[in-house]
């Protein structure tokens, strides 16, 4: 249990790190991962404790945090359990936009930043409300990997974003299914829009011709993966990006 509000916070989740700073906790965040990159101008004073799945316990111990923030999917269960033996650990479990907003609200309460948390949540809601006024339903496939081809399926945060903006994700399975040639041919008959994400596989313009050959006559777009798969306060920027990309 926490005694008072935390003053020494380690974030093991890049998207949560950004959220902590947006909540006004720049003085409290002392440790981050090597993958934390926002806000770019405010991370220099934080010690990097390693990756999301390969952090260094000795660096964590050196910092003596009074709160560590982790995530069920980003971090390994065994690592979280090891940390819990020494430090208070708060673990998020985010599958959709509602979960993300609840995470912001919860961290706001834990850190005495309730007012800022409410403002962020309100901004997210307002941004997506502007999109719902311009919905253009389309059947989509969101590619996250090449060789083998993999897409974001049901039950993912990406799927919740697609649904929120009125798209129908026609991935054949939940989570992140691989697509064989037969499945691709079947999906090609009904898909309207192919989205190629910038992460985790870095799709770029050179791959457009390849997908135009696989899905002839279909609309194909490169998209910023962070705007589809980063929960937390980045959703404020995601709604603006999505509105400009698909509805203007």
Domains and CATH numbers, the chain: 9-93 (3.40.50.1980), 139-246 (3.40.50.1980)
Interatomic CA distance for residues 77 and 234, integer angstroms: 25
Q: What is the pLDDT of residue 1?
A: 56
- Asked, as a colleague might, if the bond just before 148 is cis with ω within 30 of 0, I would say yes
Strand 219-223 versus strand 47-48 pairing type: unpaired
Q: What is the pLDDT of residue 184?
A: 94
pLDDT, one tens digit per residue, over 1-30 is 567 799 999 999 999 999 999 999 999 999
| Predicted confidence pLDDT, tens digits, the chain (248 residues) | 567 799 999 999 999 999 999 999 999 999 999 999 999 889 988 999 999 998 899 999 999 999 999 999 899 999 999 999 999 999 999 999 999 999 999 999 999 999 999 999 999 999 998 887 777 789 999 999 999 999 999 989 999 999 999 999 999 888 999 999 999 999 999 999 999 999 999 999 999 999 999 999 999 999 999 999 999 999 999 999 998 998 87
Q: Assess contact for 22 and 123: CB atoms under 8 A.
A: no
Q: What is the pLDDT of residue 105?
A: 97
The C-alpha angle 94, 133, 243, rounded to 5 degrees, equals 60
Query: What is the DSSP code string of 53-100?
Result: SSB-HHHHHHH--SEEEEETTTS-HHHHHHHHTTS-EEEE--SSHHHH
Q: Assess contact for 146 and 207: CB atoms under 8 A.
A: yes
- Asked, as a colleague might, if the bond just before 77 is cis with ω within 30 of 0, I would say no
Interatomic CA distance for residues 16 and 106, integer angstroms: 12
Interatomic CA distance for residues 67 and 229, integer angstroms: 25
In what helix (H) or strand (E) does residue 142 lie, and over which residues does it extend? strand 139-145
- Asked, as a colleague might, if the bond just before 200 is cis with ω within 30 of 0, I would say yes
Interatomic CA distance for residues 198 and 225, integer angstroms: 5
Q: What is the pLDDT of residue 2?
A: 65
Q: Assess contact for 17 and 34: CB atoms under 8 A.
A: no
Q: What is the pLDDT of residue 214?
A: 94
In what helix (H) or strand (E) does residue 11 lie, and over which residues does it extend? strand 9-11
Q: What is the pLDDT of residue 4?
A: 79
Q: What is the pTM of this model?
A: 0.89
Phi-psi region of 112 (alpha: psi -120 to 50; beta: other; left: phi over 0): left
20 token code pair: 């902590």
Show the DSSP H helices in the chain as ranges: 14-22, 57-63, 77-84, 97-110, 114-132, 157-164, 181-188, 208-214, 226-229, 235-246
Q: Assess contact for 187 and 178: CB atoms under 8 A.
A: no
């Amino acid at each position: 249990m926490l005694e008072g509000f935390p003053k020494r916070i380690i974030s093991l989740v890049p998207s949560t790190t950004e959220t902590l700073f947006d909540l006004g906790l720049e003085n409290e965040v002392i440790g981050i991962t090597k993958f934390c990159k926002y806000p770019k101008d405010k991370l220099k004073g934080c010690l990097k404790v390693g990756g999301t799945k390969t952090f260094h316990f000795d660096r964590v111990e050196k910092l003596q945090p009074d709160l560590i923030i982790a995530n069920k999917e980003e971090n390994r269960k065994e690592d979280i359990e090891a940390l819990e033996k020494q430090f208070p650990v708060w673990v998020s479990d985010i599958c959709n936009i509602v979960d993300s907003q609840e995470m912001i609200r919860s961290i706001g309460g834990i850190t005495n930043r309730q007012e800022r948390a409410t403002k962020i949540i309100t901004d997210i809601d307002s941004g997506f409300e502007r999109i719902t006024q311009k919905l253009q339903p389309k059947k989509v496939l969101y590619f996250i990997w090449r060789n083998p081809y993999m897409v974001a399926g049901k039950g993912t945060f990406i799927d919740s974003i697609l649904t929120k903006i009125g798209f129908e994700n026609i991935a054949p399975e939940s989570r992140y299914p691989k697509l064989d040639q037969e499945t691709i041919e079947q999906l090609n008959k009904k898909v309207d829009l192919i989205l190629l994400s910038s992460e985790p596989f870095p799709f770029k313009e050179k791959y457009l011709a390849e997908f135009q050959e696989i899905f002839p006559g279909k609309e194909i777009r490169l998209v910023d993966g962070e705007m589809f798969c980063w929960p937390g306060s980045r959703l404020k920027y995601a709604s603006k990006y999505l509105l400009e990309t698909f509805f203007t």
